Amino acid sequence: MIAAIASGNRALGKDGDLIYKIPDDLKRFREITSGHAIIMGRKTYEAIGRPLPNRKNIIITRNPDLKVEGCIVVNSLNEALEKAEEDNEIFIIGGGEIFKQAFLIADKLYLTIIEGNPEADAYFPDYPEFKKVVFEQDHEWNGLKYKYIDLER
């Protein structure tokens, strides 16, 4: 799973958009996920507004009639994983509901943790079982302090 979350409450988004849009974080996201399958919910896809290039875009939706050019549309997380199965690393990119569904099967988290406790309507699940720190790096941008941290179970 890969996400940018607030340190205080694990906030992800509000009103269908990301809370934080930090250029270096977006670049990191692109570099990490490029060439791989990405799985997202319909709302996350709508917030992005287009298929992300150089990735197999898989959208999970309850709408059996949804068709999106350049994307694979499925109706469950299991179906999404089947469509992505040949990939050596599959990324769950959101939103909150899809993160909850995928949490038990995830083995690695790529997090950007931004200092703060903003109001939100989408949150990342608590992740106490991810204890092994594989990578950690502090950053600052426009007065925002944040860190990249990669964790494994």
At 36, which CATH number?
Answer: 3.40.430.10
- DSSP bridge partners of 37: 56, 90
| Residue among 130, 86, 78 nearest 107 (CA) | 130
Confidence of residue 87 (pLDDT cuts 50, 70, 90): confident
Query: Looking at residue 40, what is its pLDDT?
Result: 98
pLDDT value, residue 97: 93
Residue 86 has pLDDT above 90, yes or no: no
The contacts of residue 36 (CB under 8 Å, 6+ apart) are: 55, 56, 87, 88, 89, 90, 91
The token pair at 73 is: 């549309």
The string of pLDDT tens digits covering residues 114-126 is 999 999 999 999 9
For the chain, the straight-line distance linking the first and the last C-alpha, in angstroms and rounded, comes to 12
138 is in which domain, residue-wise?
A: 2-152
pLDDT score for 72: 97
Based on the structure, what is the number of domains in the chain?
Answer: 1
Q: What percent of the chain has pLDDT over 70?
A: 100
